[in-house]
Amino acid sequence: MVKAPRVRVFSFEICEVGMSDELKIVLEDVKEKFDLVIEAVNGAKERLDRHEAGQEERLQRIEDRLIFLQKDFNDHRENTELHAVKKKKKAS
């Protein structure tokens, strides 16, 4: 299973030189919002990964069951055909 890459966004430090307090507050707010979005995207991707893994397991169980049923059907058909051939040989 291929996992989706995690989102990586540049991190930045708010430097003190030449910035007004208002700009520092705005930048800090933007950084917090980016962090929140990154966390939400990563959480969604993790849920998707778990869902994909569950679906792959379910598909594998279905495929295994189909293979079993096909083999069982083929065995039944061969036994029925052999039984029919034996009856015809006895009747002759």
Domain range spanning residue 54?
35-67
CA distance 68 to 83: 22
Residue 59 inside a domain? The answer is: yes
Residue 52 inside a domain? The answer is: yes
Residue 83 inside a domain? The answer is: no
Handedness of CA 75, 78, 82, 84 (dihedral sign): positive
pTM: 0.50
Residue 2 inside a domain? The answer is: no
pLDDT digits (tens, 9 = 90+) for 59-83: 999 999 999 999 998 888 888 766 6
Say which DSSP state 2 is in.
P
Residue 47 inside a domain? The answer is: yes
Q: How far is CA 29 from the centre of its chain?
A: 34
Residue 21 inside a domain? The answer is: no
| Ranges under pLDDT 50 in the chain | 1
Q: Considering its fold, how many domains does the chain have in total?
A: 1
Amino acid residing at 86: K
Distances (CA, A) of 86 to 4, 23, 36, 37, 83: 59, 93, 75, 73, 5
